[in-house]
Amino acid sequence: MVHPKICTAYREDYGGHGIFDKYNPLAFTFPVFMLQAIVSLLMCNLVYFALGPWIGSKLVCNILAGVILGPSIMGQINNSYMEKIFSDKEMFVFNTLVKIGTGYYLFLIAVKMDVAMLLRTAKRIPTLSNVLATTYYANIAVAMEEHNLLTSELGRLAMSAGMFMEAVGWVHLILSVIILQGNIGNGIRVVIFLCSMILFATRVVRPVIVKQIIERIPEESPLSENFVVAILICALVMGLIAESTFGAFYIGTLLMGLIIPDGPPLGSALVEKVELMVMEFFQPMFFVLIGYSVDTSFMVHNKDVGLLLLFVVGCHLAKILGTMLATLFININLRNAVLLAISLNIRGVVDLTAYERWHIRGIMDKRMFSILVLSNIFLTGIYNTLVHVFYKPEIRLAAFPPTEKYFRTLQTTPSDKELHILTSTHNEDSIHCIIALLEASYPNAASPINVNVIHAVELAGRAGPKIIPYSSHSYSRKLQSNTAKHIMRAFTNYARNSSGPVSIRPFIMVAPFKTMHNIICNYAEEERIPFIIVPFLGENDPKADRRMVRDFNVYNLQENSPCTVGILVDRGLDSRINLGRFSYSALLIFVGGADDREALRLTTRMSGNPAVSITFMKINLMHGNEDIDEAEEERDKLLIQEFKDKNAYNACVVFRDMIVENTLQLMHMAETLVDIYDLVMVGKMPMKVKHVKEMTEWIDHPELGVIGDALISSKPRDCKMSILVMQHTFKVDKTIHQDETLEKVR
């Protein structure tokens, strides 16, 4: 038993009178509890600091901290330590607080869970789910978040499967509670009461929460702390009812969490105000309690240990093989199938809670409990390490033949076909600048424009990321905000009033800023989109975390995109754009290289628009271009000649050749450009600029490249000249790819 019966003298004083009154602080309950909490949290953080970079799992590190503090290590070193700090009689308060904290942890996991998605997932992945035994959504969500894989294909598929099996697992738990009642009569009473409790929660409590709290909160207004406190008290009340009725406190808190709508305003507010305390205070103490309960002395010289370990490993292997077999039906390559299988074997809080419950009820002894905890945590640590080392989010799960692996750019898109563009924005600030760029890109009957508009929302109050079509459907409607409505209305109005055929496909994406690029890149690859436009976050934008959005731009999207990426710096163009009398002036600074050729291809398309005046500025470097590849030079010349031939008699196009001595003079030229253009287009990495990689170390905005950074840094804040920085995809060998595809387009 984890909590044996202890007979001790009754004490009314739980706190001492101080050491100066000759009282021993460790003779009183409260000082001992505070010392337990301090030692537990300190050891958890020390172990995670030392082993976290290698193990990659906070759960494993925290349980190891508990094992260190328990009888297995510290108890063997110092007996008086165990008697004074972690003796059985001093664990009452600690155990009680841990149980409440675990209940709130499961409550938060249930708040984040999307019940509607659960029902749809159950229909989509029955083959995979049937072989997963008990895989808990909470375990997978925490593991994927630790590895920044929430938005990856592996993370989303594993969480979908885990979400379905979470429901199955809780059904099993409820059935076990009923079976443990001992007789049929008690079991029937438990079933009746449980059904009544579920009906009361879903038909009475949830409607009250929706109508009295959610519907009365003005959009983007903070939630009153009174509502938060009331919800947390209700979670305890539900837990108390469940504990009093059939001895299952966690079922009550879980049910309370499930009936609260995920996301803003209520779900996100609860997570924001409660999660830090639960995850950083209560949860480490729970893991310490589990590790403290492990005693390795029971495992020494015991013949049954080997058999039990063999059984545990056999269960894991069977589950891995079963999952890999199921992946044959959804066309996943072998490497990713193995990674998916081990991801679905990760153990977590729900499993440990079950082990503890079985231990307390005497279903398993201390030896079996210790073996189960240590073996599963050891394997979980290995699984986390393998996923962290070997899984690459940019590699798709599906095993596509080499002929189907295709990366698109503007240069590979035929000029007489529909141009697909993806644009993602988190607020309304750059909408008009993006619309002006789309209008300047000359939608016409021969080559209409299809725009996939994604409103990016930071994940809050939900465990799983998602991208869904923007519509009036109830599932989509609860994600919609005034910002989303304004964005979609602006693009829809543009499609109706544009000079040429433009179609809009609106979406809402909910994901962490740090990993949004996975969803965008996967969507662009699935739809074979050649061009992604994302706005550059201005220095004075109070609506978002600039560091997170900048990480999303430069370190993630640009490096992992399967197509061309354009970073659009909006300098206030919206005040001068009128679609009824549209006029637009653009400047292309062409130095050379794949990025510059993408900017030139977009300029070539713009040149067909009679409302757009274009200045083509060809930069010729006298020094610093000795090491340029001849093949790159040839591609530049071919594309420039194509542009000149097309616009030889176009009065709206002006050609300028400029000779500069070196890179520094080029930077000075960019800084002194007059504010007479609506848009300046540049490539991120001009191939002919010597020492360009070294220069990126001291520029302020590396996502904009050397020239783009010079343009934005040198202009005053009232400058109205917007900047578009183009980057060719890094996903393929540019030399081979463009040689083959450019000729096919022509």
Same fold, 19-390 and 410-734: no
Average pLDDT over residues 298-316: 76
Confidence at 454, pLDDT banded by 50, 70, 90: very high
pLDDT at 439: 92
Token pair belonging to 522: 């996967």
How many other β-carbons are positioned within 10 Å of the β-carbon of residue 80?
7
pLDDT at 127: 36
Nearest residue to 586 via CA among 607, 556, 568, 572: 607
What topology does CATH give the domain 410-734?
Answer: Rossmann fold (3.40.50)
- Please give the model's pTM, rounded to 2 decimal places: 0.77
Residue labelled with tokens 């390559």: 333
Mean pLDDT score of the chain: 78
pLDDT at 241 > cutoff 60: yes
pLDDT at 746: 38
Contacts 24+ apart (CB under 8 A), 668-675: 669/619, 670/589, 670/707, 670/710, 670/711, 670/714, 671/710, 671/711, 671/713, 671/714, 672/714, 673/587, 673/711, 673/721, 675/715, 675/719, 675/720, 675/721
Q: Which residue has the higher pLDDT, 409 or 139?
A: 409
pLDDT at 444: 92
pLDDT at 165: 67
CA 568, CA 437: separation in Å to the nearest integer?
A: 9
pLDDT at 654 > cutoff 80: yes
pLDDT at 508 > cutoff 80: yes
Instruction: Give 564's strand partners.
Output: 531
Average pLDDT over residues 168-185: 65
How many other β-carbons are positioned within 10 Å of the β-carbon of residue 629?
11
Select the CATH number that applies to the domain covering 19-390 from these four: 1.10.10.60, 3.40.50.261, 1.20.1530.20, 3.20.20.60: 1.20.1530.20
* Strand 502-511 with 466-469, pairing: antiparallel
Average pLDDT over residues 470-498: 75
pLDDT in tens, 426-441: 888 888 899 999 999 9
Strand order across the 531-535 sheet = 466-469, 502-511, 449-458, 419-425, 531-535, 564-569, 722-727, 679-683, 584-590, 612-621, 653-660
Average pLDDT over residues 465-480: 64
Confidence at 537, pLDDT banded by 50, 70, 90: confident
Confidence at 695, pLDDT banded by 50, 70, 90: low
**Best-predicted range by mean pLDDT among 131-145, 223-237, 247-261, 596-610?**
596-610
Token pair belonging to 218: 């003005």
How many other β-carbons are positioned within 10 Å of the β-carbon of residue 486?
14
pLDDT at 573 > cutoff 50: yes
pLDDT at 547: 55
* Strand 584-590 with 531-535, pairing: unpaired
Kindly state the percentage of the chain with pLDDT values over 70: 76
DSSP string computed for 311-345: HHHHHHHHHHHHHHHHGGGGTB-HHHHHHHHHHTT
**Per-domain residue ranges of the chain:** 19-390, 410-734
pLDDT in tens, 122-176: 444 443 333 334 566 677 777 787 777 777 778 777 877 776 666 666 666 666 6
Lowest-pLDDT range of 269-278, 312-321, 389-398: 389-398
Structural contact between residues 134 and 170, judged by C-beta atoms closer than 8 angstroms: no
Residue labelled with tokens 């010597």: 690
Q: Which residue has the higher pLDDT, 372 or 126?
A: 372
Confidence at 21, pLDDT banded by 50, 70, 90: low
CA 396 to the chain's CA centroid? 17
- Spatial neighbors of 138 by CB under 8 A, at least 6 apart, are 106, 109, 166, 348, 349, 350, 463
pLDDT at 356 > cutoff 60: yes
CA 180, CA 201: separation in Å to the nearest integer?
A: 24
Confidence at 507, pLDDT banded by 50, 70, 90: very high
Structural contact between residues 728 and 595, judged by C-beta atoms closer than 8 angstroms: yes
Residue labelled with tokens 């040198």: 714
pLDDT at 144: 80
pLDDT at 622: 74
Average pLDDT over residues 108-126: 60
CA 466, CA 519: separation in Å to the nearest integer?
A: 8
**Best-predicted range by mean pLDDT among 77-86, 186-195, 483-492?**
483-492
pLDDT at 119 > cutoff 60: no
pLDDT at 727: 92
CA 552, CA 545: separation in Å to the nearest integer?
A: 11
pLDDT in tens, 31-56: 888 888 898 999 999 998 888 787 77
